[in-house]
Chain A
């Protein structure tokens, strides 16, 4: 178990190292000079050259990477080219809204999608599951931003029930925070639910065909008992892995939704950084997102050994 853990952590570190290289070189190789962007109308060749040197952009790429990596390993992501604030501070300030959005949406999606998938699987031969399954397919095809815009039109503009965007920190007003979060969370959850429902439904339908379900039936167990005690746990194991892999979808979905609902989160920070060629910020955001992905999937692997006895004893 300890060895398994060590191998997994090492794998995660290697992954993050690769991501850091990718994040650095992909941005650095992109066309355009940050110094020129920074100077804007004031740009003259002399000034650009001066600023380029000042920012360290005249050094060869590998050396710039080594410097950046050294700083990064010491916990310093650099300084924004745009606002001259430390990237650490920018990222830390943008983290809470994104985490809140992601966590709430994921929780909502899981709470709705898992029971729904299980029930659809159990009743897969009933007529009423057909339209629901159709709805799921429709949901998979609908882009997230469209749902977001629709919700804004209905709830903010027509009925004026909820704010159409913005972010209220929880420290200022809990109710205000939640009110502002309702629409974005709903949008992101609607984006996540259909594929999760489909995964749970297919997995549970396969579990229902397992021999041990017949054993449970032959014991005299009722449909609900079978669903909750036998089907659900066996469905949950692959579903947890799937959710971990869906984290990428969650992150990219969060970016779109933060922009629609003007939430000052990581997604918007990263988006603005890309538009302004603010390399250190882009790299910081990418690295943070990748770290989150790797850490969460590592935790899921560990959670596996708690749920699945076949892995525990290894």
Chain B
């Protein structure tokens, strides 16, 4: 990673109001130009809140209070005024959401919704907007874009709606695309198509990509780097190969071990991580939040471990007290045992 496109430092999102509920705790991450960072973790671990905070969707939501820095194109987005932030939203940074069935306004034509991005970011000639919209629809693989541009969302299938959402995100050629589980709500064959499309367009547009998913298969296919989140914290971050080969945190190792593989020995139970993650709005355990579910817990785990490099690579960080030896032997074996 040469030059960071977006550099997020110490992002913290709290639930506003008396309760001390931290949804995202001190998350720092950077994405380079053209780089793909995947954020993985269980439901409710703060992936989506992190993503929505990056593009500023949680900023004016009175339920949340944010702190930290988000450096993008030489500016700290957290310090921008509402109007300045809007110039970045949809233009420099764009976002695709999880459920394409509900992410489009049912009363506006597809073309109008894509054109709105262009209107908001400076294009005013309607013929030009229409020409660009047709081009975008063609790029995302909508057949007959000249006529489909005038369709309403309910005339589109789920996959086509997600394609339209992608077209909308690409309209102003953003340098960073945030995709929040873009394939979760789609059927399996469509998932593959949408993922391939995102991969291709990422290259065509030279975008950085933050992809949120809990599908580790997708991660293996697309990611350059991976961040694993647990209970609102980054527990491990590193290059995808290093993280998959030598997971440094028991949680990561557990996630990797629980992928069902086609070549798995029949009859053996699929390993799973026992217990459930803490509900963040109700507070979480002292120290390492994974402690109650961890098979390797030490007394030391009552204190929160720092995010540090413990393996060979300096950019492979984890938040665990276990010694590198233990990690490399035990966690490795856990994962290999699952793959055997």
Chain A residues within CB distance 8 Å of chain B: 125, 210-212, 214-222, 225, 229-230, 233-234, 237, 307-310, 313
User: Least Cβ distance of A311 to chain B in Å?
Assistant: 10
Q: How many A-B residue pairs have CB under 8 A?
A: 77
For window 45-94 of chain B, which residues contact chain A by CB distance below 8 Å?
52, 55, 57, 62, 82-83, 86-91, 94
B113–chain A nearest beta-carbon distance, Å = 8
Contacts of B62 in A (CB 8 A): 125
Residues of chain A lying within 8 A (CB to CB) of residue B55 = 218
Please pick, from B87, B91, B155, B165, the residue contacting A215 in the complex, using a CB distance under 8 A. Answer: B165
Contact indicator B97/A234 (Cβ below 8 Å)? no
Q: Would you call B90 and A212 a contact (CB within 8 A)?
A: no
User: Shortest distance in angstroms between A62's beta carbon and chain B's nearest beta carbon?
Assistant: 50
The answer to whether B105 and A218 have CB atoms under 8 Å apart is no
* 7 further A-B pairs in the complex, CB-CB below 8 A; given A225-B120, A234-B106: A214-B52, A215-B97, A218-B89, A218-B90, A218-B97, A219-B90, A229-B116
- B interface, size bucket: 20 to 34
A233-B89 Cα distance, complex, nearest whole Å: 23
A-B contact pairs, 28 of them (CB 8 A): A210-B102, A211-B99, A211-B103, A212-B103, A212-B104, A212-B105, A214-B52, A214-B97, A214-B103, A215-B97, A215-B105, A215-B113, A215-B168, A216-B105, A219-B89, A219-B120, A220-B88, A220-B117, A220-B121, A221-B116, A222-B83, A222-B86, A237-B107, A307-B107, A308-B106, A309-B152, A310-B154, A313-B154
Interface pair B105/A234, CB less than 8 Å apart: yes
Q: How far is the CA of A234 from the CA of B86 in the complex (A)?
A: 23
CA separation between A233 and B99, bound complex, in Å? 21
Complex contact A309–B154 (CB within 8 A): yes
Check B106–A309 contact: CB distance below 8 A. Answer: yes
Give complex CA distance A229, B86 in Å: 17
Residue pair A220, B90 in contact (C-beta under 8 Å): yes
Contact A218 B94 (CB under 8 A): yes
Contact A212 B86 (CB under 8 A): no
Return B111 CB to nearest CB of chain A, in Å.
13
Contact of A217 with B57 at beta-carbon distance under 8 Å, contacts A125-B62, A211-B102 already known: yes
Contact B107–A309 (Cβ < 8 Å): yes
Question: Which residues of chain A are near B105, meaning CB under 8 Å?
Answer: 212, 215-216, 230, 234
B117 — which chain A residues lie within 8 A by C-beta? Answer: 219-220
Q: Are B107 and A234 in contact (CB under 8 A)?
A: yes
B95 adjacent to chain A (CB < 8 Å):
yes
Asked if B103 and A215 sit within 8 Å, CB to CB, the answer is yes
The residue on A at minimum CB distance from B116 is A219
Closest-CB distance, B112 to chain A (whole angstroms) = 9
Q: How far is the CB of B101 from chain A (nearest CB, A)?
A: 9
Residue of B nearest to A312 (CB): B152
- Chain B residue with minimal CB distance to A212? B105
Contact call A217/B102, Cβ cutoff below 8 A = no
Minimum Cβ distance to chain A for residue B90 (Å):
4
